[in-house]
Amino acid sequence: MSSIFQLFQRFAGILVPKSGILTELPNCELLCNMEVLSIKLESDKQRVAAIMRNAMTKEVVSINFLIRDEKSEKRTVMRAELTSNQGICIKQQDSGQDVMKVTLPNHSPNLIGEFVHPSGATIYKVHSDGAQSYRVQRAASAVGGALPPYILRIEKEFGWIYSPVKMMSVIGSSCVYRFKDCDGRVLGYVRPKLVMRKNTLILKFMPDRGSAQVRGAMLGAALLFVLHEAYPEVGNLLQEGMQSS
């Protein structure tokens, strides 16, 4: 490994194992100190302008999301920038260190997303097991070619605790996504936040459950659901941009 590349890795807060195989997402440890995150657009005007500009000129556009700690006065702890031909890049707010990139697959009917190390290595893949069930699985490259185990199962449940009237103005379906480990224990969930004019998602971590890596994967999955549920037009923008790049 060249000295220049080593300096880049050190600056970005990335540790490369001696084997040279990247197996974890970096800079996820702060998630272990949090209980409830919200994911929201930084600016709805930016979203509308970006979609219109892309439709008219086909140029690459960006849309920003804020990831906030709801239990700490809604402090922004991470930022997520969607670039229409790449994916969603997540960084820590204070340090600026990279956490991961969330991307959409080009040609795979059962694969709905990937969580990529800042260096470009795919660490986790999200597979669909049907309309209401998903699994987050380690990429084969992250386990040295062995059979990749899954670390999360995601189950979609309808008609949770919210009335249809309240849900109507938030997200187009009254559902919650529950995260479970291999033993069936609930690790947390993603649900809409009850606000009238903003499509905001809440990511809840169960206390003392889930490692930094598992919580990082939960955050990545929540951002996928932002694209699929809260802002499908933004998901379409990203899908089309990645297919044409």
Residue 54 has pLDDT above 70, yes or no: yes
Distance (Å, rounded) from C-alpha 187 to C-alpha 204? 9
Whether the CB-CB separation of 164 and 194 falls below 8 Å is answered with no
Q: What is the mean pLDDT of residues 67-73?
A: 96
Q: Report the Cα 128 to chain-centroid distance in Å.
A: 16
Pull the structure tokens for residue 61: 């556009």
The share of the chain scoring above pLDDT 90, in percent, equals: 62
Other C-beta atoms within 10 Å of 145: how many? 9
User: Phi/psi zone of residue 208: left (φ > 0), alpha (ψ -120 to 50 degrees), beta?
Assistant: left
Q: Which of 39-43, 63-67, 156-160 has the lowest mean pLDDT?
A: 156-160
- Give the pLDDT band of residue 115 (cuts 50, 70, 90): very high
Closest CA to 36 of 191, 144, 178, 174: 191
Pull the structure tokens for residue 89: 């890049």
Residue 218 has pLDDT above 80, yes or no: yes
pLDDT tens-digit profile of 98-114? 999 999 987 777 899 99
Give the type of residue at 28: C
Half-sphere exposure of 69 (CA within 13 A, CB side): 15
Q: Where are the domains of the chain?
A: 22-244
Name the maximum alpha-carbon separation found in the chain.
Answer: 59
Closest CA to 188 of 197, 199, 201: 201
pLDDT tens-digit profile of 152-170? 999 988 755 444 333 333 3
Residue 120 has pLDDT above 50, yes or no: yes
pTM, whole model, 2 decimals?
0.86
Tell which wins on pLDDT, 147 or 129: 129
